Amino acid sequence: MPGALRPAPHPLQACCAGVAGSASNASGAIRCGPAACAANKNGRDGYHRAMTSQTEPALVVLSHGSTLCGAAETLREHARRLAASGEWSHVAVAFLNYTPPRFAEVAASLAAQGVQRVVVLPYFLVPGKFVRENLQREVEEARRCHPQLVISVASAIGYDPALADAITELAANAMPPGQWSDELQRAAAACEERPDCPLYGRPPCRVRPSPTEAAS
């Protein structure tokens, strides 16, 4: 697995752990690192954010996206854990399709905050079409729109012994479909009222479609 995914924990990571101590903006970028921790405590947010942005790169973890509500929560949880490491000035998630925010939006937000270097980590097992073509187009467009950004693209996740161990554990604890209710409940809890969601208007979705929608 790329070394960028294994930053050493920072002594101040506790104030960024989870969602409690970290700060995020409208595009979903989590501001992190020791300077941001101090900013959260001392209230001098603008100064510390600018200093951190100029000295550390930002990390964007990018995935394909999904029409299923709540599908992005796993990636956002990874982002929170990565932000707690203090290795990056900002950690953001971005998507190629369906799910906001899109990469162009995140790149624009980071540029506006004074970030100079961005590392994009493709959250894909293999560098297929989405990584080699779709992502490359997005990166080239971001470079054109924000020439001040130095954007690097890391390798796809690929193989790692820890990932193999996780797969083995999941397989050993496999459940039949009748016990998948927890996943459905998580999707319902993150409901975005999207008609294109495969659960829209059906239990456990909280939305009840109008008679016109139900008839279509």
Residue with tokens 């929608």: 213
CA dist 22 and 12 (Å) reads: 11
* Average pLDDT of every residue of the chain: 75
How far, CA to CA in Å, does 76 sit from each of 24, 49, 88, 105, 123?
11, 21, 15, 16, 12
Domains of the chain: 3-174 (3.40.50.1400), 182-216 (no CATH)
* Three-point CA angle 58, 62, 63, nearest 5°: 165
CA dist 118 and 28 (Å) reads: 15
Task: Decide if 121 contacts 59 (C-beta within 8 A).
Answer: yes
Residue-wise pLDDT tens digits, 90-122: 999 999 998 899 999 999 999 999 999 999 999
Please give the average per-residue pLDDT across 149-177, as a whole number: 91
pTM metric for this prediction: 0.67
